[in-house]
Structure 1
Amino acid sequence: MSTVPLQRLARFVCATRAPYQAALFRIGLAAVIAAFLLREWPYRRVLFGDRSPLSYDMALTLIEEEGTFTVLSWWGGQLWFEIVYSATILAALAVMLGWRTRTMTVLLMVGVMSLENRNTLVGDGGDNIIRIMVIYLVFTRCAQVWSLDARRARAADARGTELAADRTGVILWWVMGALLFWAFGIPQETGWPVLLWCLWVVHGLWYSVNRHLPRHEMRSLLDDCASLVHNAAMLVIAAQVCLIYSTAGWYKIQGLRWQEGSALHYALHLDYFTPWPGLSIAVAANAALVLVLTYLTVMAQVAFPFTLASRKMKNVLLAVMIAEHLGIAVLLGIPFLSLIMVVCDAVFLPTALLMKAGAWSKRLPRIRSHRTPAPPTPPQQPVAPELAESITRSN
């Protein structure tokens, strides 16, 4: 029996797929999280901190009943909350830039889970999606392009040095290990502490192999395993998006208002969903437009998972879905739910489009410098011999 098909399958599975989509997903998700936390900065203590209506003792009871994870359960004071909140914002910015992405994605996951699980009663659908996607992000190789890590790797290759010889990464790894031991010690039961310790060990193993066995088979094995996990995570993200759309679409079909095409009309008349009352009234006054948008929303959500087999249909419907989310953000005033769904939709964008966008962004500085050239240097006039002689004598 020929092993060629199995070898081709192994090469296909163990190669890192969709690196540009993963990078865009990383940038978008981190940007949405940072924007959300910065917008809620004046109200952070009321939503998730020591001034929340859900007191610290009540939060501990709810966390224990739901079995959720949050580091805010360790202490209930303001200082610890401010540290966690600020560290989460910094981790989001670091992930967005792609700086030490392996470590920062884990810190971002811990921070987001801690804040969201401190008070789950104030969340909405956008918070649920963020909680899910930030976990998937940890298992992707999302910094291979459009990141400071990729830039550092290219610089190391150009110098002919090993990327593994990185003191900053080693120090960061030891600091994270000390924090894990201080926070959890040696875990005795399965759960989030075990997962965090496993991630820490894997990072250390990766560094050791890169440092001491750069051309060994173990290095290739770890790289293939990382690509396999990345591909699985990207597939799960895509499946999660399809599940969200299909579930939302099929539930809408069962509603009477959606069946008769008037659901959007009633949504536009809710006071807390009308950030622009004049615009909402103008749209709601057009019965034909409301009918078309209502039916288009249902059809797009139900049909989206079935159009993935056709590239052209998928791209068209993807543009429709992105436009729909942007419209929801403006009309209904739900910006972060819409933005996080746009970020999730970016996983399905064509690679050629993303590569062209990346190449175009690199040419922006050249275009600007070409449009605004520097003023020419005036030519220097030759100095007369008599004048040069007089200057020399005076010196």
Structure 2
Amino acid sequence: MRNETQRTVLARADRWLGDRMRAVWDLLTGRPVSLYAASVLRIGYGLLYLVFLLREYPHRDEIWGPGSAWTPALARELFEQTGWVSVLALSDGRAYFELCYVLALITSALFILGWRTRLVSVLFAVVVTSFHARAIFMTDGGDNLVLLMALYLVLTASGRRWSLDARRNRRKQAQADGAPRPPGNLMARQLRDSRTILVTAVHNCGMFLIAAQVCLLYGSAGLYKVQGSTWGSGTALHYALNLELFRPWPVLSHFVAEHTLLITVAGYLTVLLQVAFPFVLFGRLKYPVLTMLLGMHIGIAVLMGLPLFSGAMIVADAVFLPDRFYTLLPHLCRRVGRRRDSAGPTPPAAADAAAVPAQGGPGGALVSKEPVGLPAERKGHP
């Protein structure tokens, strides 16, 4: 009897484990998840890095070029110790550096547009890695997250939506629908199906890695803050607002620092949001949390002068928004546009019945009782 019970329990455990493994396999290979979110990440990080390179264009030689205080020789010496690589360190010539900078700008622009995304995503990762490694001590560290996301985006199918690749694929599909399909052999179909499964699995793993990276970043940041005495006493933001290095607008920082109760509550709320973030992702509570985190990052960008870091975090948070959110955005924009168009100028107030001129006949027996300016749909017209 006992052996039969054990066999029953083991059989149930095997079925449960098999069901879970099949569910995980279906999740990985069934369909690509968060295609719109991947496109938002592609556009966001491409745009951030393009703006970053354009912003630093007048100072490019001082940061990454041959005239940098961190010379190419020092960079190569560091590469031997850390294992980093950079295409900028292959030559010390100024013409080579200028060519690399122009190619980096072009690569970032093509990555935003989603042109040949599979290839361009690899080039974009090489660009970000090279510029980050070349002057790792010359930047403020805000591009660390951009570097990680550029590497993760190589795994994703970030060109399936909102890209030139998606537009080209739609045109090809429209042409293929109207033309007869030649019969294919079994081997070709199997290879095509295997490729689809592999691409889907790699894309889903890349998106899960991005989500896990953001959760790890928020959770570790919140736990580190809990250990600090200034965060525990609620004075951390006060000290941060009075650091000269992070005061792009001293008057604004001084004005905010005067509201001690406000910045104390904001400090405690920041720690709470970061610690709780990984635990609210599977419910509707994540939407107000993401909204508050958006406000926090905007405040960091404005008050502390870290727009690249804040922008990278805001774009990273987009991975937790479902595809239905992005598909509803165009409908909401069109609805708002229609409302603005239909509103138009304010119609004049209806005139008093005594002020309406007589209509219909010489005696003026018929008087219009319909208000002036009545919309067409109220009159019965389509």
Q: Which bracket does the TM-score occupy, shorter chain normalised?
A: 0.7 to 0.9
Amino acid at match of 1:160: A
Provide the rounded CA distance (Å) in 1 between the counterparts of 2:246 and 2:282.
36
Deviation readout 1:354-383 (Å, 9 max, x if unpaired): 1111445678999999999xxxxxxxxxxx
Q: Alignment partner of 2:44: what SS?
A: helix
Q: Which residue of 2 aligns with 1:315?
A: 287
Q: 2:48 matched to 1:75?
A: no
Amino acid at match of 1:231: N
Q: 2:27 matched to 1:12?
A: yes
Q: 2:49 matched to 1:33?
A: yes
Provide the rounded CA distance (Å) in 2 between the counterparts of 1:212 and 1:126.
52
Provide the rounded CA distance (Å) in 2 between the counterparts of 1:82 and 1:132.
25
Q: Which residue of 2 aligns with 1:205?
A: none
Q: Alignment partner of 1:69: what SS?
A: coil
Matches of residues 41-190 of structure 1 in structure 2 within 5 Å?
41-160=57-176
Amino acid at match of 1:321: L
Q: Which residue of 1 aligns with 2:256?
A: 283
The answer to whether the 8 Å contact 2:238/2:263 transfers is yes
Q: Which residue of 1 aligns with 2:181?
A: none
Q: In the superposition, relative to structure 1, how do residues 362 and 67 fare at CA in structure 2: closer, same or farther (>3 Å)?
A: farther
Q: Which residue of 1 aligns with 2:224?
A: 251
Match of 1:225 among 198, 206, 214: 198
Structure possessing the higher radius of gyration over alpha carbons: 2
Amino acid at match of 2:286: K
Amino acid at match of 2:132: E
Provide the rounded CA distance (Å) in 2 between the counterparts of 1:158 and 1:214.
25
- By how many angstroms is 1:52 displaced? 0.5
The answer to whether the 8 Å contact 1:29/1:343 transfers is yes
Deviation readout 1:141-182 (Å, 9 max, x if unpaired): 0111111100100011111189xxxxxxxxxxxxxxxxxxxx
Q: Which residue of 1 aligns with 2:352?
A: none
Provide the rounded CA distance (Å) in 2 between the counterparts of 1:146 and 1:291.
42
Provide the rounded CA distance (Å) in 1 between the counterparts of 2:246 and 2:257.
13
The answer to whether the 8 Å contact 2:215/2:278 transfers is yes
Match of 1:264 among 237, 254, 275: 237
Q: Which residue of 1 aligns with 2:368?
A: none
Q: Alignment partner of 2:142: what SS?
A: helix
Q: Alignment partner of 1:160: what SS?
A: helix
- By how many angstroms is 1:349 displaced? 1.4
Q: In the superposition, relative to structure 1, how do residues 361 and 90 fare at CA in structure 2: closer, same or farther (>3 Å)?
A: farther
Q: Alignment partner of 2:143: what SS?
A: helix
Provide the rounded CA distance (Å) in 2 between the counterparts of 1:248 and 1:60.
32
- By how many angstroms is 1:286 displaced? 0.6
Q: In the superposition, relative to structure 1, how do residues 100 and 352 fare at CA in structure 2: closer, same or farther (>3 Å)?
A: same
Q: 2:315 matched to 1:300?
A: no
Q: Which residue of 1 aligns with 2:310?
A: 338
Amino acid at match of 1:330: V
**Size of the alignment, in residue pairs?**
323
Provide the rounded CA distance (Å) in 1 between the counterparts of 2:334 and 2:96.
41
Q: Alignment partner of 2:285: what SS?
A: helix
- By how many angstroms is 1:351 displaced? 2.2
Q: Which residue of 1 aligns with 2:373?
A: none
Provide the rounded CA distance (Å) in 2 between the counterparts of 1:302 and 1:66.
32
- By how many angstroms is 1:342 displaced? 0.4
Q: 2:364 matched to 1:349?
A: no
Amino acid at match of 1:17: V
Q: In the superposition, relative to structure 1, how do residues 360 and 79 fare at CA in structure 2: closer, same or farther (>3 Å)?
A: farther
Higher mean displacement: 214-223 or 28-37: 214-223
Deviation readout 1:227-269 (Å, 9 max, x if unpaired): 1011001101111111111111111111111110011111111
Provide the rounded CA distance (Å) in 2 between the counterparts of 1:272 and 1:5.
52
- By how many angstroms is 1:10 displaced? 3.5
What's the C-alpha RMSD, in Å, of the aligned pairs? Answer: 2.6
The answer to whether the 8 Å contact 1:85/1:111 transfers is no
Amino acid at match of 2:77: T
Q: In the superposition, relative to structure 1, how do residues 364 and 214 fare at CA in structure 2: closer, same or farther (>3 Å)?
A: farther
Provide the rounded CA distance (Å) in 2 between the counterparts of 1:116 and 1:5.
41
Amino acid at match of 1:357: L
Q: In the superposition, relative to structure 1, how do residues 32 and 156 fare at CA in structure 2: closer, same or farther (>3 Å)?
A: same
Which structure features the higher share of helix residues? 1
The answer to whether the 8 Å contact 2:28/2:205 transfers is no
The answer to whether the 8 Å contact 1:30/1:96 transfers is yes
Provide the rounded CA distance (Å) in 1 between the counterparts of 2:233 and 2:195.
55
The answer to whether the 8 Å contact 2:34/2:322 transfers is no
Instruction: Please give the TM-score of this superposition, normalised by the length of structure 2.
Output: 0.79
Higher mean displacement: 271-280 or 333-342: 271-280
The answer to whether the 8 Å contact 1:139/1:229 transfers is yes
